[in-house]
């Protein structure tokens, strides 16, 4: 009996001290007010749209489902594939249930994908899963009877912005793929990125005053996503940081963020670095907005709509070139 109790205590101590799971489970079950709140005319926006949710796509990883939104009566101008946020450990495609129809109304075939969450799966599994979806895209379009538009964009919010930017870095950097043990198979070129409120630099000095409000969270999320408790001492912190991996081949990029409990300074320095590389960059940074403000059309209607309208204008600018 005492042997069993001792073994149980050791197992509990190992679980608490040697894995990020206690923190992850606590964060997943923390009750928060939903960040995404639709416009008052959301029902009218969704009228006549095709909306399908929870469809499967071929993948070696779990949670391989997607939602699709499009207007069947309007020729599509573009595809936008969206990767949701959730601190790498939570969230799902429902986070764009209002944003997706709004984009579809603008002539966009909008895909919101789900993916395997950390810490059960860690970098680069999520990058490979994004590639699996893109590889399957012609087949998924065919199922809907849709032609392939001439422009493909990737977008993501929060952790999703990191993953989308990281995938794009790998797309145009064979050496980064080799170092990360990644072999991409999708042949699509990426015409542009929409990056909302993302962290782009895991190699950030953890003593940086700008991290003071969430340095502990940053530590645990790095542990969960990168797969090592001492991740700050390992090369993965650079490999998974788009800020350190972008190059001149990186496509046109739109970024937004707010200062409150978010990563505005990382968004700004990524925008500056891309601009120095002569990459076409547009951005909206707000000193008084919180993390993920861009999907709250009730509390922050002016700023959220500015981001939406400027994102659409950004894609239209690319399509005119």
Residues 85, 91: contact at Cβ < 8 Å?
Answer: yes
Instruction: Record the pTM.
Output: 0.94
| pLDDT given for residue 23 in this prediction | 82
| pLDDT given for residue 9 in this prediction | 46
Average pLDDT of adjacent 10-residue blocks, the chain of 321 residues: 51 54 83 77 97 99 99 96 98 98 99 98 99 98 96 99 99 98 96 99 88 84 96 96 98 98 97 99 98 97 99 98 82
Residues 24, 220: contact at Cβ < 8 Å?
Answer: yes
Residues 85, 95: contact at Cβ < 8 Å?
Answer: yes
The CATH number given to 44-320 is: 3.40.50.1820
Sketch the domain layout of the chain as residue ranges.
44-320
């Amino acid at each position: 009996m005492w042997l069993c109790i001792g073994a149980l205590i050791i197992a509990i101590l190992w679980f608490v001290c040697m894995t990020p799971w206690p923190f992850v489970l606590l964060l997943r079950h923390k009750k928060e007010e939903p960040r995404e709140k639709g416009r008052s005319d959301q029902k009218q926006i969704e009228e006549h749209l095709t909306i399908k949710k929870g469809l499967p796509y071929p993948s070696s990883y779990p949670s391989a489902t997607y939602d699709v939104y499009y207007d069947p009566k309007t020729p599509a101008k573009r595809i936008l594939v969206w990767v949701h946020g959730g601190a790498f450990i939570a969230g799902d495609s429902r986070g764009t249930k209002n944003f997706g129809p709004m984009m579809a109304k603008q002539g966009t075939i909008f895909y919101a994908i789900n993916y395997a969450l950390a810490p059960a799966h860690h970098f680069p599994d999520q990058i490979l899963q994004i590639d699996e979806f893109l590889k399957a895209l012609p087949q998924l379009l065919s199922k809907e009877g849709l032609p392939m538009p001439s422009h493909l964009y990737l977008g993501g919010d929060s952790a999703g912005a990191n993953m989308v930017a990281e995938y794009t870095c790998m797309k145009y950097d064979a050496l980064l793929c080799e170092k990360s043990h990644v072999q991409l198979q999708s042949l699509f070129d990426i015409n542009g990125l929409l990056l909302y409120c993302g962290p782009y630099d895991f190699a950030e000095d953890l003593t940086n005053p700008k991290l003071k409000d969430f340095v502990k969270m940053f530590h645990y999320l790095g542990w969960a996503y990168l797969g090592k408790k001492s991740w700050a001492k390992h090369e993965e912190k650079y490999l998974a940081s788009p800020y350190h991996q972008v190059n001149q081949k990186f496509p046109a990029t739109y970024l937004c963020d707010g200062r409150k409990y978010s990563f505005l300074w990382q968004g700004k320095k990524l925008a500056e670095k891309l601009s120095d590389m002569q990459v076409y960059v547009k951005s909206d940074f707000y000193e008084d907005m919180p993390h993920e403000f861009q999907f709250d059309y009730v509390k922050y209607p002016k700023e959220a709509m500015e981001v939406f309208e400027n994102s659409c204008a950004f894609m239209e600018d690319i399509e005119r070139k």
